[in-house]
Amino acid sequence: MKINAVNGTNQPAFQKVNQKYLKWAEKDYKLMKNIGTEWYESLRDDVTLFKDISKQDGVDTMNAARKYVTEGSMKAFNHVMDCIKRA
**What digits encode the pLDDT tens for the residues 2-55?**
334 444 455 555 568 999 999 999 999 999 999 999 999 999 999 999 999 999
In a 3-state reduction of DSSP, which class is residue 5? strand
pTM equals 0.82
d(CA 48, CA 86): 9
In a 3-state reduction of DSSP, which class is residue 26? helix
d(CA 69, CA 6): 14
Asked if 26 and 17 count as a contact pair (C-beta separation under 8 A), the reply is: no
Where helices occur in 1-87 by DSSP H, the ranges are 19-32, 37-48, 55-65, 74-86
